[in-house]
Structure formats: structure tokens, C-alpha cells
Structure 1
Amino acid sequence: MIPFVDLKAQYTGIKDEVNKAIQGILDTCQFTLGSEVAAFENEFADYCQAQHGIGVNTGTSALHLALLAAGIGPNDEVITVPFTFVATVAAIYYTGAKPVFVDIDPRTFTIDVKSIEAAITDKTKAILPVHLYGQPADMDPILEIAKKYNLIVIEDAAQAHGAEYKGKRVGSIGDMGCFSFYPGKNLGAYGEGGMVVTDNAEYTRTIRMLRDWGAEQKYHHVLKGYNFRLEGIQGAVLRVKLRHLEAWTEARRTVAVYYNELLSGSGVPTPKEMSYARHVYHIYAIRTKQRSQWQQVLQAKGIQTGIHYPIPVHLLPAYADLGYIRGDFPHSEQAADEVLSLPMFPELTRAQCEDVCEAIRMIEENEITV
């Protein structure tokens, strides 16, 4: 079996470091926030080339609190994409604001910057680009539009730890950047976690209060806040894993090179790393019009795959109230119908990549019936 993700293999390589870090939390009993979380906030912010990091309980909470800190609320509009995980859109809803969608660029799966300006109204307050699959969105045009219309830019970097746009780390390019540390992410906790990074001291102060019941000091509640604190164990584990992130990222990029080479000339559309980007390959997604059949055949051959994402948000029943219909965002809809995520994790070997690609070529060449 070739797994889609192998967290056990990762743990095996850092077991002693992780166990020591967890034991440290058990010894100090700093189970919520605490010194390990504070240290991780500083280290991850520095890694992202940002001045401040605020740890929270999930990537969704990071988006939610970043929007609130930016002053987003009822009757406001936030521009984003429908081809993303639902949390991107849910976080906008949590503030009372309205998500306004624009389509993706089919080459990158990220926001089509040429479509943004037409979606702006007098209610628009922010642009929320998603660095999907580990590929940065084209940020310069986004920042130019934001400056022209006085909009906030909040990066959804949940899948893009360490990705770069023109040499600058994502998360530090807009006004704020939001990360998820869900276990399967490139930098994953042993549970849930998230972070906002920013250079803005006032946003930092607001988010720190909002994550801890709106309190600037214990029992002194300045804002109506939330219980979104990052746990001490997660901070300790993430500090260990951050030290390995660059090596893991280069390993992922090597796996992507293997896939690109092995699928070259096959006719299978593979990911395109843009000239401005350092793609970190959280997901390696190919495209096929026979996705369900391919997935079944690969599974039968012991190869696990995933689909990220099978239904664009504008077509989900939960968001039917936005009034969008099929055909409104054709590139997002086509991607949702065609993407198939291949196994991707740092410990994946070339031999395993060869097995995956051999099976795909046999399907493509009709040597295996789908």
C-alpha cells in the first residue's frame, strides 16, 4: 500500500525530539498557551518573515480573528474564491460579512487576479486570496488593487507553509497571513492549531485579546472574545517540527520533480509552478475527466489518492443562499470535477512514485480498463 499521507513515518524520524518536548509540557503543566506557545509564535513569525505571530486553536479561527481584527463585519463584503476548503468562506460568514466569489486561474488553482476588480463594490472591505495546494497566488496585482480601493489583504496560507512569492514568504505579503497546523499540513500539529502572522502591532494586540475571551489581562475583558487559545503541547510539538520544515519542503519538491519527470509526455495535466513561486506541494494534483474510475483503479492497486475539492463552495447546499449557480465560475467547477491528488509526503520514495506513475500510464494507455 502506498498511503496518501504517512504521518507515522514522519513521527518515527523525530520521535525522541517530540517525546522530549511533550514531556516538558507535562513537567511544567503549561497546557494552554505558555512559554512553548510563545516561543513557537516568535519562531514561526520569523520563519514567515513577519514581526508578530499569534497562535490559535485552528486555521479557521486564524481566518476568523484576522477578519475581525481588520474590522470586517455585517454588511461588508470579502472577495475570495469558490475553489477552496469551506473554512475560507465559513470564516467570512462568522463575521457577518458576505463572501463574494471570483473564479480561479486554471493554471494555478489560485485567484484570477484579472477578475477581482469587477467584483468590487462599495461594500468590499477585503480580498482573501488562497495559496492553494502550496502555490502562492499572484500577489503583486492583488496588492495594487487593494491599494487602489483601500482594501485589506488577508492571505489564506493554510496549505502554504514556507511557500514564496518573488522570494518573500507567504503570510507576510498582505496585511495578515493565516496558517493551519492540522496534522496533515506541511507543518502539522498532533491535534489542531493555527496562527496569524502580521507586521501590524494593533492587529496583533486585537487578535491576542480575541483568542482569549477578549481579555488583555485575566478577568479584564476589553472585547467580546472567544476561547481560541493554542495548547501548550501543540506549541512544543510544532517547535520541534518547524526545525525540520525546510528539509521536508525540499523533499516534497523533489517528489514533485519525480512525478513531473515520470508523467512527462503522458498527456496527464500536472501542476505548474509559476515563475514567481516557490511551490511547497501540500497537494500534488493531476487532472482527468475520468477521476472516479482512475481513483478506483489506483485504490485496487494499493495506491491511495484524494480529491481536493470535489464541490466548489458556491455549489454546496450550505451556501446556496449566496445565489450562485452552476456555470458562474467555470474554471472552479471544472477543477472540482477533474482534480485528483496523488500521494505526497516528504518520505515518499522515487520507487513509490514510479509505481504510482506506472499505474497512471497504464490507465492512460488503456492497458488497465477503467
Structure 2
Amino acid sequence: MEIDEEPNLLNLPNEVLLQVFRRLPRHDIFFGIAHVNHRFRSLVQRNLKTIRLFDAHCHVNIVDNRPLTKYRDDGTDPIITYSFTLFDRRGPEFTQKRRLCLRGNDVKYKELHISHLYDSKMQSQFERAGNGHDVTVSPKTATTLLSYMNLQAIRIQVRKQCKKESKRLEDDFFENCLRFLERMCSRVEIKSLLLCSKNILFPWQLGQKSLSKLASLQGLQNLILENMTTFDPRFLKLPTRNLASLQFRLDPRHRMELDQLQVSPIDGSLLKSLSAASVYRLDFSAYSEVAQVVTSIDAVDMCYFIENWHFSPKPWIIKGISFNSQVSIDDFRMAAYKILPSNFAIPFPYCRFQTCHRKSMDIVLEVACYANGTATQWIFRTGHLNSC
């Protein structure tokens, strides 16, 4: 009786091999299979679009201290550095770290730093813990490692160190860096994005190409704009069905520099856009932690938002919409009584109002306000009737 021999992996056709590779852990594919022989390596490299890649985070740091010199707009200018870390979906804090654009939680792999010299030559190093020196990596190896990544979260911070007469106050750093990342990484599926301006005197302002690129990110779920006080949210071109978290905030240093009331470009049109998108469990905050920064949202805008929510096709669940406004509780009460029916803004103790959805009376929209000294903080949120 003849015993059938087990099939030799080397003799399998490429189509079958590829099916086998796709079922393997990522580490085994890229640091095992890809190094067996030239055929396996070539098969992996040719099918990076269909093989599971490493979920990655990139921290882009830009120090714009040469405003009058020629700038390379392909993302390889020496003022730009890239730092890559990996995510582990099974590890702790994965969801939170990706949502807040924090460095990856996969501690098995070192951080990879990428920068470029004046002749565009790539420099790359692995970060070494403790007092040890970083480990230099060849450009070819770094390029290969980047091709194994699926970029899901990006933090871009820009520090402008330039004189007032500089012409490069508005730039397209964002578009340039994203173009570089799309060229180097096999997949760029941005779920979370943080844009940060670090210099109080010279705020970072996105150019037209960058604004267009930002508006095209339809898969974006979380957007944080830190110290971007000149950013007009109308450039986001809402509505988008995926943007569930939108945060405008200031870091502690910028908060300390605010000595007088500052009006942000955010107005009632943003409420209309958010209402049109109706993203499930929307979390929106506009400088709600800083009393000195107020929006231009007025009482009429708030009343129309309540009306739109009440007549929406189905109850729109809102995690929280918070912002500062110069609208007092009396201003809102007067506008509500003039614009809305009597059952649309039922007053409750502690400066709260509630309205039920027309199709589901147990789902309510609660409007609450808190005087914070300089302005009034308003919060919109939904919940069940008995829990509010």
C-alpha cells in the first residue's frame, strides 16, 4: 500500500501559496516567509495590497526654520522627520491610542525614524531604549519595512520659527507629507488624524492643496485640531458618514497665553453640517475646556439644531456636542419660546432642557449649559428618558 507524500510547499503553485500566506501571522509572513527564497519574497512583495499588513502610526515633526530657502515639496525636505510605531489590535489601549493619535502600543517592535539630507538621501534609525545609540538602518531596508505598513493614524505637528516678513505662513506641508507616506507605505487608510500648530506667534495655516487633501479623506473617523485657532471647519466639506469624533483644543501653553476673549471661526453652519451627517455617537468639542475661546453659534442656530434632531428620520444618537458661546440661558430660553413648539425645549432643573424624538418618545435630546465665568458652555447629548 502506497502512502501519499505530503505536498512540498516549494512545489505548490503561486495561487495556492498566496492563500497559505494570507492565513499566517504578519510577523511570520514578512520576517519569515519573505526570507526563505527569492520566489517567496517576490510573491509577498507583489501582493502587498492583498496581504495583511502591520497597522501603523506615524508622527510627523516639522520645524520650519528656513522660510526663505527653496523647499522640496515631495515630503523629503530636511525640516521634516517621520517616526513610525506599530499597533497591536489585541493589546491594551489599542482603540484609545489610535483614536487619540498616540504612538502605537505594540512594544515588540522598535520605533523607526526617517529623515532626509539636503541631497534627498534617506536616513533611518531604530530607536533604542535607555542610553544606547539608535541603530542605523539602510535606506533599502527602511523602504522595505515601510512597504509592510498599513498607516492608520497620523500626527503632524508644525513649529514655525520664522520672521513676520516670511511668505510661507500658509503652506502645504500636510499634502506633501501625505503624498510621501502614500508613496512609501503599501496602504494608507487614515482612521485618525491630529494636526498641531506649536508656535503661538506664527500659527500653522493649511494651504489650498492641503485643505483639498483633508476634505478627500472620506474614511477619516477621528480628527483632532490642536492650536489650529485660524482653521475654518467649513473647509472639511461635511457631511461625511465616518467622521465620528471632531475635536478642537488647545495645549496648556496656548491656554496660558490667552488673556482676553477670542472668537473662533466656528459658527452655526457647522451645526447644520453635523446634523446633515447624523453620524452615530458623534463626539464634537470646540475648545470646551477653554473659557476664553468662544464660537459664533447663537441661540437661533441651537434651536434649529433641536428642530432638525426632532424631525430626523430616526433617533440620532449623540455622544456629546460641546462648545462655548456668549448665549446665556435666558437668551436661549427666549429664542426657544419664539421658534420652537412648547414641547421642544421642556425645562428641567440645573439649567437643562429636553425634547423627545417624534418617532421614539423614550429617546431624548438634552441641552445643558454651565456658566464658566467668561462665557457659557453648552452641551448637547442624547439618552433614554429615564437615564437623563
Q: Going by fraction, where is strand more abundant, 1 or 2?
A: 2
Q: Between Structure 1 and Structure 2, which shows a larger proportion of helix residues?
A: 1
Task: Using structure 1 for the length normalisation, give the TM-score.
Answer: 0.26
Structure number with bigger Rg: 2
Higher relative contact order (CA 8 A, sep 6+): 1
TM-score calculated relative to the size of structure 2:
0.25
